[in-house]
A and B are shown apart, each in its own frame.
Chain A
Amino acid sequence: MRSLLRQLFYLGRRGRFDAELDKEVEFHIQTRAEELQEAGLTPAAALAQARREFGSGARMREESRAAWQWRWVEDLFADLRYAARSLRRNPGFAITAIACLTLGIGANTTMFSITKEVLFSRPSVRAPETMVHMEIGGNSHAPIREFRFLRDSHFFEALAGENEEQEVNWRHAGATERLHGVRVSDNFFAVTGIPVALGRPIQAGEETAAVLSHDLWERRMGADPAVVGGTMVLDGRVYTIAGVLPRDHRTLLGFGFAPDLYLTVPGEGGLLALFARLPDGMTRHVAIEKLRAACAALDRAYPDPDHKWVENIRVSAVAGVARVRGDEKVMVVAAFFGVLMVVVGLVLGIACANVASLLLARASSRSQELAIRLSIGAGRGRLVRQLLAESLLLALAGMAGGLGVNVALTAFLSRIRLPLPLPFQFLIEPDWTLLAYAGAVALGTCLVAGLLPAIQSVRSALQAALSRHEPRSRTRLRNALVAGQLAVSTVLLCAGLLFLRNLMQSYRMSPGFDVAQTMWSQMRVVPEAYKEPAKLRALAEAGLERVRGLPGVESAALARVVPLNINLRMGVSVRTDVSGRPVHIQYNLNYVTPDYFRTMGIPLVRGREFLAADRAGAPAVVIVNETVARALFGQTDPIGHYIRFDWGPSQVVGVARNSKYFTLGEESAMAIYEPYSRMSEHRADVQFLIRSKGRPEGLTAAVNAALGRLDPTAALETKPMSQALVFALLPSRFGGAVLGSMGLLGLGLASIGLYGVLLYSVSRRTREIGVRVAIGASPRNVLWLVLRHSFGLVGVGLAIGIALGVLAVKPLALFLIPEVNASGAGNFLVVGASMCAIALLATLSPVVRALRVDPVAALRQE
């Protein structure tokens, strides 16, 4: 240990050490010279003899120094300096290699950052390891009364509740806007320890307080610190703005969920999800037992014959790996990101192969130098280490560039608000884990890209220098690298092309209803003002009348569900009057007014739309889609027949053409429509669907004005249907964008590699080409010769790649819409053709150059 310290100490004072050693040697020589002088020699002769006796100082100095050196660190620095010099002398090579690595490492680390943020984000609470999420009675949320019982019984040190799916209407400056909020119990901030940037958190006892998100404060309040302590009108009530959250706030829900504000729970109604802080050392098992006891007490206090809170209890972690492992839905997302990581890993692999073949090519030009060093005694391991130092330098430069790409990309991504019904925003910040990961990737890259070429070059250096001929093993390695690169990029290109086609198809694809001329206007009223359903119904009908009266509106209707955004699924057993057998069906349910099908452009293949007469109290009627008609009635015309549900029979009055109800990828789903007026759900929102005569954008203002006048406290959002479908298209858009760009990136990298290799191999054959031309070969022969070699390479790579590609795209079919055939031959043909085209381009330049070579010069060239 002490010698280690001494060695470290030495590293710092190397210059001084050399000077001191010199002085020591000088003293020795002087003393000997004095002795010789006393023996009778002249001073000059004595000095000369003393020096002669001492001998060559170089070896002695080196050995003395060696006693102190930390050998391999010194060597490493020397190697790095040498490598830097030689890279500076070959800027083209260096830039190409560093560019490849930058792209590969950049893509890889960016995907790592995104994955880490989406799956493993740490909520901004104090000590998230001690917080748990509790579900009782099989429900995700518990009513307030039960929450208060559990909290006050102090089974747990601290219990807080929150409900994240809340919307509120914010009235300000004469306009009403819909905000997404999280309703929390008054002890929520105290229990979780969520920090605020301005003002203070919501405190115990407060009934109307709110804490704003940083984004809302910046965007809509101009980042004015004076709003803290002021008020805002939410759902008709006045709330105090207690504080503003910091910019890097992350919710307990995670996944980038970014609500606009936190606010208190209103009065008695409502549900809360339970979060508890466990005391130090309490494991989840103990917590579950305590919860069980607590729920048993709860059941005793509020007995309910149908439902017991003590059943189906779950306690899950709130952050980190434990949270991912505990939830199946999260595992699916995790699997998706796993696929993406593999894809970028492949891209990085291609970049490595590129750099490896570049290094191999370069090593050939240094074979003479290596041979000389080997012959004067350098160890093979030492030379390999030196070559590795070069790839280490490249890898470090690539890492720096890659991190730059990462930071730029993630900063850009963090600014985007995803177009989902709930507000999501990535908050990706670089931290030490990113650096560690990038370092590991860079090191791995250095080894993968550099080790094999280094070993190869050294092994064949002597042989190469002697025979001027590239050893076959190295050629084989390089060819293998290029073929491998081509194979991997072929696979990537297949997947990428597939997703791009999917993307284009889904743009062109009709979801079964009209997207060009329809609009969707979503109105949300203040729930407290509309406690009776009749009031809301009256409002909705008045709105419908007004909208229908607008010029430019062809028709309008109301619907409970707007397709491709949310859905209502029912799974029931029904009987028909045609066959008494019970059939279990799962269908999408929607409540619609008359004119719905006309407005949406969904043709009715049989029967009629709903009429005003089909309301509550009248005989029950339904409209079914073709799939249901076929399933329940076969070839018979269902019109006039009855479907017997659990709650009574309904007569079928119409059959609608199939369309898409929840995702674009579904096929022949079932759907049943019921009249809007029969809807018994107590809701606070109304969805208006409008068909315009011309372009829908022109009507937005008019619709907003007409509906806005009905109730100024209601929030209104109107948009053309094409914009509303963004959420439905999101997965395929995201997949298409990522995989498509990865495919192109991989192709680009492979092209660079292919170009470099072909260029180099042709230049090595210049002499041979010169000989051939001299003895009479025509340019066409030479061309054919070279093309044959490169196409042989490309052929092998393509064959392997397409074989792998066929296997690889099968699991991807899950993510595609049915109209796109994953295993279609067309896809592979396109990929093969483009690879051949690139190979042709990559070969032509070196060949043309080779042909222009003067045969005499080629013969003389060595």
Chain B
Amino acid sequence: MSRTDALQGSLDLLVLKILSRRGPLHGYAIMTAIEEISSDVLRVEEGSLYPALHRMEETGLVRAKWVEKESGRRARSYELTAQGRKQLESEEARWVAVTGAVQRVLRLA
């Protein structure tokens, strides 16, 4: 079974949520966070994560900068912007509405 199908294009929403809860993170950390919290049900493809991050950066939902890690290496860390926060709210509300509707149909159809 392809686990990535489960994400259904809601990658952006998950990334924004994680950044809002856990503060600035780099790409790898975001990926592991999603997998951890969902108990490996959701697995993010690197090939879709970075394009998504760059897309969100271009539209202004997140802000990126290079930080020095203890190991001496430099990582690109992403942070939520005010516009991103607003987008997160609306996306989350939409998601809840849609899934609620799907559940109702499944239950009562």
Interface residues, chain A, with chain B CB atoms under 8 Å away: 2-3, 6-7, 20-21, 23-25, 27-28, 30-32, 53-56, 59-60, 63-68
Check A60–B28 contact: CB distance below 8 A.
no
Which 6 residue pairs across A and B have the least CB separation, nearest first?
A63-B51, A67-B55, A67-B54, A64-B54, A60-B47, A31-B28
Residue of A nearest to B27 (CB): A28
Residue of A nearest to B83 (CB): A2
B98 CB to closest chain A CB (Å) equals 25
Residue of B nearest to A20 (CB): B76
Q: What per-residue 1/0 map shows which CB atoms of B74-90 lie under 8 Å from chain A?
A: 11100000000000000
Check B54–A27 contact: CB distance below 8 A.
no
A3 CB to closest chain B CB (Å) equals 6
Candidates B26, B46, B51; contact of A67 at CB < 8 Å: B51
When distances are taken between beta carbons in the complex, the residues of chain B under 8 Å from A20 are 76
When distances are taken between beta carbons in the complex, the residues of chain B under 8 Å from A56 are 47
- Complex Cα distance, B44 from A28, in Å, reads 13
When distances are taken between beta carbons in the complex, the residues of chain A under 8 Å from B55 are 67
When distances are taken between beta carbons in the complex, the residues of chain B under 8 Å from A30 are 73
A37 CB to closest chain B CB (Å) equals 13
Interface centre among B46, B55, B59, by most chain A C-beta atoms within 10 angstroms, is: B46
Candidates B26, B46, B53, B59; contact of A54 at CB < 8 Å: B46
- Complex Cα distance, B53 from A64, in Å, reads 8
Decide yes or no: A60 and B46 within 8 Å by CB, A23-B74, A32-B28 being known contacts.
Answer: yes
Decide yes or no: A55 and B74 within 8 Å by CB, A3-B59, A67-B54 being known contacts.
Answer: no
Check B58–A27 contact: CB distance below 8 A.
no
- Complex Cα distance, B50 from A567, in Å, reads 87
Decide yes or no: A24 and B27 within 8 Å by CB, A53-B46, A55-B45, A55-B47 being known contacts.
Answer: yes
B97 CB to closest chain A CB (Å) equals 28
Check A27–B47 contact: CB distance below 8 A.
no
With an 8 A cutoff between CB atoms, is B60 at the interface? yes
When distances are taken between beta carbons in the complex, the residues of chain A under 8 Å from B28 are 27-28, 31-32
When distances are taken between beta carbons in the complex, the residues of chain B under 8 Å from A67 are 51, 54-55, 57-58
When distances are taken between beta carbons in the complex, the residues of chain A under 8 Å from B73 are 27, 30
B69 CB to closest chain A CB (Å) equals 8
Residue of B nearest to A68 (CB): B58
- 12 more A-B contacts (CB under 8 A) besides A24-B50, A59-B47, A67-B58? A27-B28, A27-B75, A27-B76, A54-B46, A56-B47, A60-B46, A60-B50, A63-B50, A65-B54, A66-B51, A67-B54, A68-B54
When distances are taken between beta carbons in the complex, the residues of chain A under 8 Å from B57 are 67
When distances are taken between beta carbons in the complex, the residues of chain B under 8 Å from A23 are 74, 76
Residue of B nearest to A10 (CB): B58
When distances are taken between beta carbons in the complex, the residues of chain B under 8 Å from A59 are 47
Check A2–B60 contact: CB distance below 8 A.
yes
Check B46–A3 contact: CB distance below 8 A.
no
- Complex Cα distance, B23 from A818, in Å, reads 94
B103 CB to closest chain A CB (Å) equals 33
30 contacts between A and B (CB under 8 A): A2-B60, A3-B58, A3-B60, A6-B58, A6-B60, A21-B50, A24-B26, A24-B75, A24-B76, A27-B26, A27-B74, A27-B75, A27-B76, A28-B26, A28-B46, A30-B73, A53-B46, A55-B46, A55-B47, A56-B47, A59-B47, A60-B47, A60-B48, A60-B50, A64-B50, A66-B51, A67-B51, A67-B54, A67-B57, A68-B54
Candidates A3, A28, A55, A64; contact of B51 at CB < 8 Å: A64
Interface residues, chain B, with chain A CB atoms under 8 Å away: 26-28, 45-48, 50-51, 53-55, 57-60, 73-76
When distances are taken between beta carbons in the complex, the residues of chain B under 8 Å from A55 are 45-47
When distances are taken between beta carbons in the complex, the residues of chain A under 8 Å from B45 are 55
- Complex Cα distance, B84 from A720, in Å, reads 90
A65 CB to closest chain B CB (Å) equals 8
A12 CB to closest chain B CB (Å) equals 15
- Complex Cα distance, B75 from A7, in Å, reads 23
When distances are taken between beta carbons in the complex, the residues of chain A under 8 Å from B46 are 28, 53-55, 60
- Complex Cα distance, B53 from A55, in Å, reads 17
When distances are taken between beta carbons in the complex, the residues of chain B under 8 Å from A32 are 28
A30 CB to closest chain B CB (Å) equals 7
When distances are taken between beta carbons in the complex, the residues of chain A under 8 Å from B75 are 24, 27
Residue of A nearest to B73 (CB): A27
- Complex Cα distance, B74 from A7, in Å, reads 25
- Complex Cα distance, B31 from A25, in Å, reads 13
Interface centre among A32, A55, A64, by most chain B C-beta atoms within 10 angstroms, is: A64
A769 CB to closest chain B CB (Å) equals 55
A271 CB to closest chain B CB (Å) equals 73
- Complex Cα distance, B50 from A21, in Å, reads 9
- Complex Cα distance, B58 from A2, in Å, reads 9
A57 CB to closest chain B CB (Å) equals 8
When distances are taken between beta carbons in the complex, the residues of chain A under 8 Å from B59 are 3
Residue of A nearest to B47 (CB): A60
Residue of A nearest to B59 (CB): A3
- Complex Cα distance, B64 from A21, in Å, reads 12
When distances are taken between beta carbons in the complex, the residues of chain A under 8 Å from B50 are 21, 24-25, 60, 63-64
- Complex Cα distance, B94 from A340, in Å, reads 66
When distances are taken between beta carbons in the complex, the residues of chain B under 8 Å from A31 are 28
When distances are taken between beta carbons in the complex, the residues of chain B under 8 Å from A63 are 47, 50-51
When distances are taken between beta carbons in the complex, the residues of chain B under 8 Å from A65 are 54
When distances are taken between beta carbons in the complex, the residues of chain A under 8 Å from B53 are 64
Residue of A nearest to B56 (CB): A67
- Complex Cα distance, B47 from A23, in Å, reads 15
When distances are taken between beta carbons in the complex, the residues of chain A under 8 Å from B47 are 55-56, 59-60, 63
Interface centre among B28, B55, B59, by most chain A C-beta atoms within 10 angstroms, is: B28
- Complex Cα distance, B75 from A639, in Å, reads 117
A330 CB to closest chain B CB (Å) equals 57
A70 CB to closest chain B CB (Å) equals 11
When distances are taken between beta carbons in the complex, the residues of chain B under 8 Å from A54 are 46
When distances are taken between beta carbons in the complex, the residues of chain B under 8 Å from A53 are 46
Residue of B nearest to A56 (CB): B47
B18 CB to closest chain A CB (Å) equals 16
- Complex Cα distance, B26 from A27, in Å, reads 9
- Complex Cα distance, B46 from A64, in Å, reads 11
When distances are taken between beta carbons in the complex, the residues of chain B under 8 Å from A7 are 58
- Complex Cα distance, B9 from A52, in Å, reads 24
Residue of B nearest to A32 (CB): B28
- Complex Cα distance, B47 from A30, in Å, reads 16
- Complex Cα distance, B27 from A28, in Å, reads 7
Decide yes or no: A60 and B51 within 8 Å by CB, A23-B74, A27-B26 being known contacts.
Answer: yes
Interface centre among B27, B50, B74, by most chain A C-beta atoms within 10 angstroms, is: B50
B3 CB to closest chain A CB (Å) equals 14
B66 CB to closest chain A CB (Å) equals 8
- Complex Cα distance, B76 from A153, in Å, reads 81
Residue of A nearest to B29 (CB): A31
When distances are taken between beta carbons in the complex, the residues of chain A under 8 Å from B27 are 24, 28
- Complex Cα distance, B81 from A2, in Å, reads 14
Residue of A nearest to B69 (CB): A27
A420 CB to closest chain B CB (Å) equals 66
B56 CB to closest chain A CB (Å) equals 8
Residue of B nearest to A60 (CB): B47
A98 CB to closest chain B CB (Å) equals 40
- Complex Cα distance, B70 from A506, in Å, reads 97
A110 CB to closest chain B CB (Å) equals 47
When distances are taken between beta carbons in the complex, the residues of chain B under 8 Å from A6 are 58, 60
- Complex Cα distance, B85 from A285, in Å, reads 62
Residue of B nearest to A2 (CB): B60
When distances are taken between beta carbons in the complex, the residues of chain A under 8 Å from B51 are 60, 63-64, 66-67
Interface centre among B26, B47, B48, B76, by most chain A C-beta atoms within 10 angstroms, is: B47
When distances are taken between beta carbons in the complex, the residues of chain A under 8 Å from B74 are 23, 27
- Complex Cα distance, B57 from A6, in Å, reads 10
- Complex Cα distance, B54 from A7, in Å, reads 12
When distances are taken between beta carbons in the complex, the residues of chain B under 8 Å from A3 are 58-60
When distances are taken between beta carbons in the complex, the residues of chain B under 8 Å from A2 are 60
